[in-house]
Chain A
Amino acid sequence: MFRLIATRVILGLITLLAVCILLFLLIANLGYDAASAVLGQGATPDALVVYRHELGLDRPTYVRLWEWLSNLAHGSLGTSLTNQRDVLTTLTPRLSRSLFLAGFAAFIAVPLAVGLGILAAINEGKWPDRLANIVSLATISLPEFFVGYVLILLLALNLSAYVVQYQWVIDAFGENFKLFTSDAIYSSDMPLLDKLHNVALPAFALTMLVTAHILRTTRSALLSVMSQPYIEMAFLKGLSRARVILVHALPNAAAPIISVIALNLAYLIVGVVVIETVFNYHGVGEFMVDGVGKADAPVVLGCALVFATAFISLNTLADVLAILVNPRLRHPR
């Protein structure tokens, strides 16, 4: 089992390295770089040549690749081409913001979704199951920004927008009182409660989207185990449906459930890109979108590296956990 897990981890690291090189080559050879982005469409060819030389973009691709990789090995992501700031120092606080948001959402979503999924499976075909099916189907169909905007309209406008006719409510809370804020402000020195309150709306939006996915997979993973003979045996012994599902079916359905949770956590980290834009939240996603707009290669690469690392490590974690919970995979042939 140890060898199996070690293989997965090493495979993940190799993939990450391959992805880094591939991304670098793609960005370097797209024919659109920071020089053309900064100087705009009216730039003369001469000006472009001079500016490229200044930025060091006229050197061969392999030289720049080598420079970037050796920087990476020394723990540096280079400096931004457009504002000369160190990418890593800009990235770190943004990463902690994005992780806080994703972690907050996951903390609510995972237990909620698995619980509701089990509940839906226990009541298969009855009204809780049907309700869960319709609501989750509708939720996975919603674009992230729709959820975000509806939440803002419902919960984050000034109080005076809702209760114009009740003057005493406005007097009591003040004209500009908001239940939640639509500009999700976060800094590391805030008290935890303030952070949670400020990030609540984007976190709710993410929670809704992720919960629906995990719920549906938990339910179908449980139900696919339910057609096996040993489950029929348990029913014939006279056990209740709830007991059969929780004690007999759940352990065998654990592998797909764990892998879908890991995949959805990976989605959370990417899903924050749109949600961060909706709520003006200065996280990694916003940084990447900005960087892509300016064709700022080190910034784009740094952000892409963060996303790729998160994605690959969560996938590897899913593989490893699936091996750990599945008795048949513990002893490879």
Chain B
Amino acid sequence: MRLFGHRPTVLAWIGILIVSAFIAVAILAPWIAPYSESESVSETWADMSTQYPLGTDNIGRDILSRLIFGARMTIGIALATTLLSFTIGTTLGFAAAAFGRAVDQILSRIVDVVLSVPVLVWALILLQGANGSIVALVLTLAGLDSTRVFRLARAVATNLVAMDFVEVARLRGEGLGWIMFREILPNALPPMITEFGLRFCFNFLFLASLSFLGFGIQPPFADWGSMVRESGGGINQGVVAALWPALAIALMTIGVNLIVDWVLSINARPSGASAEL
């Protein structure tokens, strides 16, 4: 079977399988979850059983059901963040390349300052007053992440702006909007698509870390990062409840990374191995 004219490797198939399974779970959550996401159904930290396939968490909620509902929250928010971050980052990056020096200098210096401090520090400070608002969370993370998208989009677009077909469009009298989205965007797509996968992985892990530290998605919503936080105390007694959501996060990221790795290998140039005759 071929996808977009290329035959996926075994590893790529594993990635596609993992990611589509998680997305299906996220969409079908209310129909396949055995219990609700916020209801305590048993005593604390019940063992795995046929009734509770993965056991229960620190206040007796069914872990499997929370994992299933958490898929919606965690994957959905990471996806929304990445989409928003790409919209902001690409538009500004193309603008910096197309509008000329002044805009480029201003935007680039702002991005330099933002990137000179660890993104976790910004996020912790900005989310301080967010009070668990999901909109504030998505806006903050997308804003911070768009700086990295900006750098790539600007670099790609700077090369494209110098091409003849852009010059022709300018001479034809097209506006900047046309040049950015009809001339530059289609040609910049291949590197941007792989970057999308990588940024999604980063945002997904980062969101999980923030929730784990207590600054991401707040209860009563089920979310994989905060599930780890809630049940983490049991680890020292050998209770594995916190491991399931952590495993789900790891699997999802591995899945996306396997797909990205495959897409990258399609575009990769042959290396020095070919010189070895």
Interface: B106 (CB within 8 A): no
Question: What CA separation (Å) do A249 and B271 show in the bound complex?
Answer: 13
Q: Residue of B at shortest CB range from A183?
A: B236
User: Given A249, A274, A278, A312, which contacts B116 in the complex, CB threshold below 8 Å?
Assistant: A312
Interface: B171 (CB within 8 A): no
Do A149 and B232 contact each other (CB < 8 Å), given the known contacts A22-B113, A143-B246, A143-B250? yes
A15 contacts B126, CB within 8 Å?
no
Chain A interface extent, by class: 35 or more
A32 contacts B129, CB within 8 Å?
yes
Q: B270 — which chain A residues lie within 8 A by C-beta?
A: 227
A141 contacts B257, CB within 8 Å?
yes
User: Given A22, A133, A143, A224, which contacts B209 in the complex, CB threshold below 8 Å?
Assistant: A143
B128 contacts A292, CB within 8 Å?
yes
Binary A-proximity of B191-209 (CB < 8 A = 1, otherwise 0): 0000000000100010011
Q: B3 — which chain A residues lie within 8 A by C-beta?
A: none
Choose among B113, B261, B275, B277 the residue with the greatest number of A CB atoms under 10 Å from its CB.
B275
Interface: A232 (CB within 8 A): yes
A152 contacts B236, CB within 8 Å?
yes
A15 contacts B112, CB within 8 Å?
yes
Give how many A-B residue pairs fall within 8 Å (CB-CB). Answer: 157
B209 contacts A274, CB within 8 Å?
yes
B247 contacts A153, CB within 8 Å?
no
Expressed in whole angstroms, the minimum distance between the Cβ of B84 and any Cβ of chain A is 20
Interface: A155 (CB within 8 A): no
Q: A307 — which chain B residues lie within 8 A by C-beta?
A: 117-118, 120-121
Expressed in whole angstroms, the minimum distance between the Cβ of A249 and any Cβ of chain B is 8
Question: What CA separation (Å) do A19 and B230 show in the bound complex?
Answer: 34
A226 contacts B271, CB within 8 Å?
yes
Known: A32-B128, A143-B225. 15 other contacts (CB 8 A): A16-B116, A26-B126, A30-B129, A133-B261, A142-B253, A146-B228, A152-B236, A153-B235, A153-B240, A226-B273, A227-B275, A232-B275, A235-B277, A300-B125, A304-B121
Please provide the 9 A-B residue pairs with the shortest distance between their CB atoms, ordered closest to farther: A226-B272, A32-B129, A141-B253, A146-B246, A232-B275, A141-B254, A270-B118, A30-B129, A223-B271
